[in-house]
């Protein structure tokens, strides 16, 4: 190929690259604008319908549902994060390339595509019926953990695999064991990407409704002066039933005739749910940046 033909090929490749880059920016921009418009509409609608009485921690407010949402997501992350990170470490650092690991990866991919209603029915069968319990927050957290595990596991595995080999080799050359190299060097370097998986898992928990319908229940009876964990009315008792904001919105939109302010409460609940999710994402990102700066020695 002569110089003239080579120059033409390079110019053509550059044009294609610019066109495809523009298309990708356009697609990304479209979804960003769509997200901003949707979130903005929901938040503005919630602000317009806001009434301070909606925040009460009683049957007429959403204070209890707000607490249930935060508490259930906390319980689910307490379960899914250690298991998900452990599974990611195993797949990235210890598992060989064999039929077993292939089956595990297929199972993880299949789990990530399961409809939440199926997980809810599974949770109802296993965590409620088979254990002889009533609807409770722990069962809801376990159901949400099943939905969250694939994102945390996959994110952790990919982060460890994409890490330069020099991280592990350098640590082990200084006398660290394989596990010590993973926990002290590799995992801290992967924190920003692992945080992404945790954010996705938390977002799934904040917005989940179908899986909680059969596990966490639709009732909330809390006595804020009772802190006996064995009591069914203790706020921190994971074995009590607890309706979350997402489930409360669904109830208000389907059985809203029982409450004259159902539409307004649903709008405020949706706005608060969006704000919670956004705040959690920003907080997680801030923690991730702090850990990264600390590990890299930046000021």
> How is 56-68 classified by DSSP, letter by letter?
-SSTTSSHHHHHH
The pLDDT score that the predictor gives to residue 78 is 93
CA-closest candidate to residue 133, choices 143, 123, 148: 123
The pLDDT score that the predictor gives to residue 23 is 92
The pLDDT score that the predictor gives to residue 224 is 87
The pLDDT score that the predictor gives to residue 85 is 92
The pLDDT score that the predictor gives to residue 291 is 75
pLDDT < 50 regions, the chain = none
The pLDDT score that the predictor gives to residue 192 is 82
The pLDDT score that the predictor gives to residue 261 is 77
With a pLDDT cut of 70, the percent of the chain lying above it is: 95
Query: Could you give the CA distance from residue 56 to residue 68 in angstroms, rounded to a whole number?
Result: 14
- 269 membership: H or E segment, kind and range: helix 262-296
Angle, alpha carbons 205-120-253 (nearest 5°): 70
**Ordered alpha helix ranges (H), 90-164:** 99-112, 116-123, 137-162
> How distant, in Å, are the alpha carbons of 126, 192, 266 from that of 256?
31, 42, 9
């Amino acid at each position: 190929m002569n110089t003239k033909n080579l120059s033409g090929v390079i110019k053509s490749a550059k044009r294609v690259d610019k066109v495809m880059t523009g298309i990708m920016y356009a697609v990304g921009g479209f979804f960003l604008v769509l997200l901003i418009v949707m979130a903005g509409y929901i938040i503005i609608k919630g602000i317009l319908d806001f009434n301070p009485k909606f925040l009460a921690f009683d049957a007429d407010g959403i204070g209890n549902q707000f607490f249930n949402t935060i508490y259930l997501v906390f319980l689910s992350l307490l379960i899914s994060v250690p298991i998900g990170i452990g599974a990611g470490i195993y797949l990235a650092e210890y598992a060989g390339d064999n039929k077993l690991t292939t089956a595990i990866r297929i199972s993880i991919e299949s789990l990530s595509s399961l409809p939440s209603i199926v997980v809810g029915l599974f949770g109802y069968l296993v965590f409620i019926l088979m254990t002889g319990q009533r609807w409770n927050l722990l069962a809801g957290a376990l159901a949400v953990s099943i939905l969250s595990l694939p994102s945390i596991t996959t994110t952790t595995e990919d982060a460890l695999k994409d890490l330069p080999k020099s991280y592990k080799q350098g640590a082990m050359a200084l006398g660290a064991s394989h596990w010590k190299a993973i926990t002290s060097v590799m995992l801290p370097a992967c924190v920003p990407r692992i945080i992404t998986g945790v954010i996705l898992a938390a977002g799934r928990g904040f917005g989940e409704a179908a899986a909680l319908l059969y596990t966490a229940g639709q009732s909330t009876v809390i006595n804020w002066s009772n802190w006996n964990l064995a009591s069914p009315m203790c706020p921190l008792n994971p074995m009590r039933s607890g309706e979350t904001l997402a489930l409360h919105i669904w109830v208000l939109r389907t059985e809203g005739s029982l409450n004259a302010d159902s539409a307004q409460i649903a709008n405020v609940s949706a706005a608060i749910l969006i704000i919670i999710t956004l705040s959690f994402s920003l907080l997680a990102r801030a923690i991730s940046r702090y850990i990264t700066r600390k590990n890299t020695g930046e000021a």
